[in-house]
């Protein structure tokens, strides 16, 4: 958890000093970014430092995203070391890797000691093997152990996400005991905590109490009499599950337990917000066939992430081509049919993508499971049919008038209704099937859905046309 | 804010009682949903109540989403009133509206008093005008005033989101004064709070202090000596802005101030998590041309939300048709060209959607603004060119072999490179332009982008073919 004591200057505050870093929406202004660029071009370190030193680490990270790699190098050189430390966990992955390569390992070892164990581990994880060894070797034993322990858990697990520092109280304590303990042991407790976990003699959490509840209760009240049920998180639980639990039950923090149910750490909601954003980002990009990329990605990294999807798309698009080739003779006789193919393709693809997106989203938010899958499918079919009955007359009449041939209108109208049923079917069943097979339903679904609606759309339209018009 | 004292049973706990409501991922099991359906079909109210009474409100809301409207009616009838109250803010919008129509106004008036002012206002907002009047009239003056006050703010503003209850301390207090005040005034304070706001004599917040910090400090220390800077939220700020500030600076709670800078309430992070999910949901659905819909939407509501996008799509797809009609003579001579049209359309549309989605996402997370727009555009053009150089030889050779005519291969290959540049251009410039004109960059972008890549894709391919092959 990184809740830094230093809050950002509010826009109104910054107006009082000579450089306005943030606009009214708390976004870095273009003119501030320009000042940083100018100062680093001029190699004016003192100017750079004066521009940067009052920024919140999150704003420094943001600034780095707006700079080119060369300017980042200069900025890193002039960042005060403690600000650099707090900025590291905030950076985009690609930029963090780039920055880490440039920071001497002793500076890094010192910087990491300023961070909570979970943030420090996240940074160390991004180091090259040899750099990692050097950095860890230069750290005090206790910090190194905490980081190594954190890295022992799977990358996307609760264990990696948690901080080891927690405020635990034995179940026989009362409110007064707990408050006295906090006053005395202040230094060993987490810098910031929201819930106290009440543990039994085996160190298993049996309840929780918000700090404000502790403050409000009389000193003689036993903790067990005012504690509330808790949602304990298993240390090997996937971070997506953890985010779901936090979101569903509106948690601020939750205890993490090992396989034996013993308290080993806690997760706080601010880390969860990041994970929710990360998962949403993944879903939206995967639906479009974009692999992980960010502001720091190079052109070749981006191309390597996107070309495979385009190549798959090329392969599936050939299916549509093949269908058309089957009807070459029909088309040679009635070239007008070709003019309608983009419409068949666009409407089928779009309706399929609508059904697909709704289904992928419902799966991601767990609003869709086996108890309502059949109902969802029937509803999408009904929607497809209704869409067809609205759109088919429109396009049918338009096509009939364009080609002065009502039979062409009838064919495209009928084909559209049938293809919208195909779109609803593949739009729902593709992600449902992928999800049941334990694949990510967002990945590659869109390519498959549009290929299928093209294939059947052309087949139905050209098939009907051959039957009716020839 | 709804942080209910009652946490959900953990899966392992529920296994000990006779019905297992949640699976290991905290999702309702299909067998539990079935039991509820059976009990409500049988009209067995006591059974229903025993199934429901131990559920967390969030799980009841989830259950409602899995049921049909008829089953929901029966379930609402048998929900204990306090559980019904806490469930209302958790429901999907459509389901909440449906449930509210069925709850007698006196029951509702009583239920709403159990909720925080922000949650109560959110429920009242969904009532029909005449029901709203009746419900408000049946509530005690103080609760009614709180709700009416909340509803006076814009729907998506900080004012609507905030709770009025805050823990404020005058700036001349020390730690001891503050703790004593909390112990004495417990009842008038928020049920749960995370930060204490330090206010000046004009009730303007000048700093904040986490409760755990208060607990740890010596009683004689002045609040102003340990307080931290705060990010004050303006009462009329848009909820999306508020979410951005919380996310960026890892806030747990923040004070809300009126136009004069006076403290009027606070916003807590659990409400922000909901907003982040809501905004993400909107973005992903809008990109696919789906308006707001959820599990409770009827087929006709869904169709009304989706048909307009399909109709727009129909209109834009006609552009592609028109281009093809310009080349009818070419096609009549070389029918083989038609077979390649789906490939031109698919690759252009897909590459455009990739660039579009990345741009929309970067705008939503504010990673893209005027200071890096030009660089982003150049990068996408470079990616488009690189994609073209990878894919064009592939498809060019395949087409050349298929039609035994290398010139067709050359034409499609060249057309593909050019169309990928078109795709990059419209994929980036469409959302950037919409955003600069203060429109939502996600809405309708996809339809426009694919229509443009179809238009230029067909034009370039068929144009080159006419020049080279005829």
Position A8 pLDDT exceeds 50: no
Asked if the Cβ–Cβ distance from A30 to B246 is below 8 Å, we say no
Write down the pLDDT at residue A14. 39
d(CA B450, nearest CA chain A) in Å: 9
Chain centroid to CA A151: how far?
21
What is the mean predicted confidence (pLDDT) over A297-301?
A: 88
A18 DSSP 8-state letter: S
d(CA A133, nearest CA chain B) in Å: 31
Position A253 pLDDT exceeds 60: yes
If you count residue pairs, one on A and one on B, with CB atoms under 8 Å apart, how many are there?
A: 401
Residue A286 domain flag: no
Same domain, A16 and A143: yes
Residue B419 domain flag: yes
Same domain, B152 and B191: no
Asked if the Cβ–Cβ distance from A288 to B338 is below 8 Å, we say no
Q: How many CA atoms, within 13 angstroms, populate the side-chain half-sphere of residue A119?
A: 22
Same domain, A35 and A105: yes
Write down the pLDDT at residue A17. 41
SS3 B169: strand
Note which residues in 221-260 of chain A have CB less than 8 A from chain B: 228-232, 241, 244-252
Position B42 pLDDT exceeds 80: yes
Same domain, A26 and A146: yes
B185 contact A CB<8A:
no
Note which residues in 259-278 of chain B have CB less than 8 A from chain A: 269-270, 272-274, 276-277
Residue B277 domain flag: no
pLDDT digits (tens, 9 = 90+) for A68-78: 889 999 999 89
Integer angstrom CA distances of residue B48 from A17, B34, B68, B90, B102: 64, 12, 16, 20, 18
d(CA B37, nearest CA chain A) in Å: 11
Write down the pLDDT at residue B184. 85
CATH code for position A258: 3.10.580.10
- Give the Cα-Cα-Cα angle A257, A261, A265 (nearest 5 degrees): 20
Write down the pLDDT at residue A30. 85
- What's the pLDDT band for A4 if we cut at 50, 70, 90? very low
Asked if the Cβ–Cβ distance from B346 to A313 is below 8 Å, we say yes
Query: Which residues is B222 bridged to in the sheet?
Result: B174
Closest to A6 (Cβ–Cβ): which among B179, B229, B269?
B229
Residues of B in contact with A367 (CB under 8 A): 62, 65, 294-295
Asked if the Cβ–Cβ distance from B288 to A313 is below 8 Å, we say no
Same domain, B172 and B142: no
Asked if the Cβ–Cβ distance from A280 to B284 is below 8 Å, we say yes
Same domain, B55 and B193: no
Of A269, A285, A317, which one is at a domain's C-terminal end? Answer: A269
Asked if the Cβ–Cβ distance from B303 to A251 is below 8 Å, we say no
What is the mean predicted confidence (pLDDT) over B144-148?
A: 88
d(CA A352, nearest CA chain B) in Å: 10
Asked if the Cβ–Cβ distance from A346 to B390 is below 8 Å, we say no
pLDDT digits (tens, 9 = 90+) for A171-181: 999 999 999 99
CATH code for position B353: 1.10.357.20
Position B9 pLDDT exceeds 80: no
Closest to A306 (Cβ–Cβ): which among B273, B354, B447?
B354
Note which residues in 130-169 of chain A have CB less than 8 A from chain B: 167
Write down the pLDDT at residue B17. 41
Residues of B in contact with A167 (CB under 8 A): 212
- Strands A195-199 and A168-170: what pairing? parallel
Asked if the Cβ–Cβ distance from A331 to B338 is below 8 Å, we say yes
Higher pLDDT, A445 or B310: B310
User: Smallest Cα–Cα separation from A381: which of A447, A318, A429?
Assistant: A429
Same domain, A321 and A194: no
Asked if the Cβ–Cβ distance from A343 to B331 is below 8 Å, we say no
Same domain, B420 and B303: yes
Closest to A342 (Cβ–Cβ): which among B59, B273, B454?
B454
Q: Which residue on chain A is closest to B239 by alpha carbon?
A: A25
Asked if the Cβ–Cβ distance from A183 to B300 is below 8 Å, we say no
Q: What is the mean pLDDT of chain B?
A: 88
Question: Cβ neighbours of residue B182 under 8 Å, at least 6 residues apart?
Answer: A212, A215, A216, B167, B189
Residue B302: burial class (beta carbons within 10 Å; 0-12, 13-18, 19+):
buried
CATH code for position B132: 1.25.60.10
Position B460 pLDDT exceeds 90: yes
A445 contact B CB<8A:
no
Residue A356 domain flag: yes
What is the mean predicted confidence (pLDDT) over B175-181?
A: 93
Write down the pLDDT at residue B13. 44
Note which residues in 72-131 of chain B have CB less than 8 A from chain A: none
Give the count of beta carbons closer than 10 Å to the beta carbon of residue A133.
12
pLDDT digits (tens, 9 = 90+) for B230-270: 989 999 999 989 999 999 999 999 999 999 999 999 999 98
pLDDT digits (tens, 9 = 90+) for A326-363: 999 999 899 889 999 999 999 999 999 999 999 999 99
Write down the pLDDT at residue B113. 85
Q: Which of B196, B350, B394, B438 to mutate to test the interface with A (most CBs of A within 10 A)?
A: B350
Same domain, B16 and B131: yes
Q: How many residues does chain A have?
A: 470
- What's the pLDDT band for A16 if we cut at 50, 70, 90? very low
pLDDT digits (tens, 9 = 90+) for B324-354: 999 999 998 998 899 999 999 999 999 999 9
Asked if the Cβ–Cβ distance from B295 to A367 is below 8 Å, we say yes
Measured CA to CA, the distance from residue A177 to residue A175 in angstroms comes to 6
Write down the pLDDT at residue A20. 65
Percent residues over pLDDT 70 in chain A:
95
Residues of A in contact with B21 (CB under 8 A): none
Residues of B in contact with A231 (CB under 8 A): 7-8, 10, 26
Measured CA to CA, the distance from residue A435 to residue A359 in angstroms comes to 11
Measured CA to CA, the distance from residue A177 to residue B315 in angstroms comes to 72
Lowest mean pLDDT among A16-25, B66-75, B351-360: A16-25
A325 contact B CB<8A:
yes
Residue A5 domain flag: no
Residues of B in contact with A232 (CB under 8 A): 10
Residue A306 domain flag: yes
Residue A67 domain flag: yes
pLDDT digits (tens, 9 = 90+) for A160-172: 999 888 999 999 9
Question: Cβ neighbours of residue B392 under 8 Å, at least 6 residues apart?
Answer: B413, B414, B416, B417
Write down the pLDDT at residue B188. 73
Write down the pLDDT at residue B350. 92
A69 contact B CB<8A:
no
User: Smallest Cα–Cα separation from A227: which of A255, A246, A248, A250?
Assistant: A255
Give chain B's domain count.
3
Of B272, B307, B333, which one is at a domain's C-terminal end? Answer: B272
What is the mean predicted confidence (pLDDT) over A291-295?
A: 79
B194 contact A CB<8A:
yes
Same domain, B337 and B379: yes
Please, what sign has the CA dihedral across residues B101, B104, B105, B111?
Answer: negative
Same domain, A245 and A322: no
Choose the most confident range, by mean pLDDT, from A185-189, A299-303, A369-373, A409-413: A409-413
Both structure tokens of B50 = 């025993």
User: Which range of residues forms the domain containing residue A407?
Assistant: 299-469
Q: Which of B34, B89, B206, B212 to mutate to test the interface with A (most CBs of A within 10 A)?
A: B212
DSSP alpha helices (H): ranges in A404-436?
406-436
Please report the ipTM that was assigned to this predicted complex.
Answer: 0.86
Same domain, B67 and B211: no
Residues of B in contact with A192 (CB under 8 A): 210, 212-213
pLDDT digits (tens, 9 = 90+) for A26-81: 788 888 999 999 999 998 999 999 999 889 999 999 999 899 889 999 999 898 88
Query: Which residues is A163 bridged to in the sheet?
Result: A266
Residue A185: burial class (beta carbons within 10 Å; 0-12, 13-18, 19+):
exposed
What is the mean predicted confidence (pLDDT) over B20-35?
A: 82
User: Smallest Cα–Cα separation from A273: which of A243, A294, A249?
Assistant: A243
Asked if the Cβ–Cβ distance from B317 to A347 is below 8 Å, we say yes
Q: Which residue on chain B is closest to A55 by alpha carbon?
A: B249
Residue B283 domain flag: no
- What's the pLDDT band for B61 if we cut at 50, 70, 90? very high
Position A386 pLDDT exceeds 50: yes
């Amino acid at each position: 958890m990184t809740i830094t004591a230093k809050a950002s200057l509010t826009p109104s505050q910054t107006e009082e000093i000579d450089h306005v870093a943030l606009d009214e929406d708390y976004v870095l202004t273009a003119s501030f970014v320009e000042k940083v660029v100018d100062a680093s071009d001029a190699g004016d370190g003192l100017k750079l430092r004066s521009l940067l030193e009052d920024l919140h680490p999150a704003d420094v990270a943001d600034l780095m995203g707006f700079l080119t790699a060369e300017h980042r190098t200069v900025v890193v050189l002039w960042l005060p070391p403690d600000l650099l430390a707090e900025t590291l966990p905030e950076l985009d992955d690609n930029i963090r890797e780039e920055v880490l390569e440039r920071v001497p390992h002793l500076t890094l070892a010192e910087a990491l000691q300023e961070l909570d164990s979970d943030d420090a581990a996240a940074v160390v994880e991004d180091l090259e093997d040899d750099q990692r060894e050097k950095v860890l070797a230069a750290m005090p034993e206790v910090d190194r152990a905490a980081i190594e322990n954190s890295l022992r858990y799977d990358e996307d697990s609760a264990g990696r996400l948690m901080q080891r520092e927690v405020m635990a109280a034995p179940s026989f304590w009362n409110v007064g005991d707990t408050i006295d303990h906090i006053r005395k042991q202040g230094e060993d407790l987490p810098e910031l905590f929201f819930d106290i976990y009440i543990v039994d003699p085996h160190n298993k959490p049996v309840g929780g109490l918000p700090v404000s509840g502790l403050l409000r209760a009389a000193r003689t009240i036993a903790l067990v009499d005012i504690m509330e049920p808790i949602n304990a998180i298993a240390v090997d639980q996937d971070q997506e599950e953890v985010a779901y639990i936090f979101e569903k039950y509106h948690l601020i923090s939750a205890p993490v337990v090992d396989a034996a149910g013993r308290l080993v750490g806690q997760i706080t909601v601010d880390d969860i917000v990041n994970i929710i954003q990360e998962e949403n980002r993944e879903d939206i990009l995967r639906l479009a066939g974009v692999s992980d990329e960010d502001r720091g990605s190079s052109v070749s990294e981006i191309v390597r992430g996107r070309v495979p999807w385009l190549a798959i798309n090329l392969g599936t698009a050939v299916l549509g081509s093949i269908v058309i080739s089957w009807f070459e003779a029909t088309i040679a006789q009635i070239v007008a049919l070709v003019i309608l193919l983009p419409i068949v393709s666009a409407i089928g693809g779009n309706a399929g993508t609508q059904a697909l997106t709704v289904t992928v989203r419902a799966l991601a938010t767990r609003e869709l499971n086996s108890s309502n899958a059949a109902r969802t499918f029937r509803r999408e079919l009904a929607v497809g049919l209704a869409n067809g009955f609205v759109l088919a007359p429109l396009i049918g009449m338009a096509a009939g008038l364009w080609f002065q041939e009502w039979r062409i209108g009838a064919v495209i109208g009928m084909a559209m209704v049938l293809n919208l049923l195909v779109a609803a079917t593949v739009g729902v069943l593709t992600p449902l099937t992928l999800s049941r097979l334990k694949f990510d339903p967002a990945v590659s679904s869109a390519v498959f859905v549009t290929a299928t609606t093209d294939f059947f759309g052309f087949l139905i339209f050209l098939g009907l046309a051959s039957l009716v018009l020839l």
